[in-house]
Structure 1
Amino acid sequence: MITVTVIGKPDCHLCEVASDVIDAVVAELPDALAEDIEIVEQSILDDTALYGQWWEKIPVVLINGDLHGHWRVTPDRLRTALEEAAR
């Protein structure tokens, strides 16, 4: 299982864009890979530790707990990272 974690907050435009990019990339992946991906959304407003670590960098995307990127998510880079995580 590959876990993609999106750390953001409600009413964050860039967070919504990041989620849309992630959904689109996963939808384009082969079914066997896409079915092995779990997308988890966390809000910095619900967790003071997340807030302290990431508040100025949201949205933050983690793949299997490792930082993939923050602020903007690019489809090609995300696709490559997910394919590498599947190996």
Structure 2
Amino acid sequence: MATIPSAIDFKKPRQKEWGILQGRTLASLNYGGIVDSNGKSINLTSTNCYQDALEQAKILIAQGTGTVNVQVVEFVPYDYMMQPNV
């Protein structure tokens, strides 16, 4: 029987995400500096890369938002269990 390669780790099915709360609202930011085919920034409410979230938090603080109003939060965007199709 051939094994089908997968990027999904079925032992850890919950995928962590990080976002930034600005005040009490989840901020939509350009995590990782990603752009579309026209060069326009793509904003997202979360990222799966903690370093990208941390960099955006540093930028917000440097812009004068203040450390009281900026929080990097870890969350699971939805609760599910991924099951392989057999």
The TM-score, its normalising length taken from structure 2, stands at 0.30
The structure with the larger Rg is 2
Q: Which one has a larger percent strand, Structure 1 or Structure 2?
A: 1
The TM-score, its normalising length taken from structure 1, stands at 0.29
Q: Which one has a larger percent helix, Structure 1 or Structure 2?
A: 1
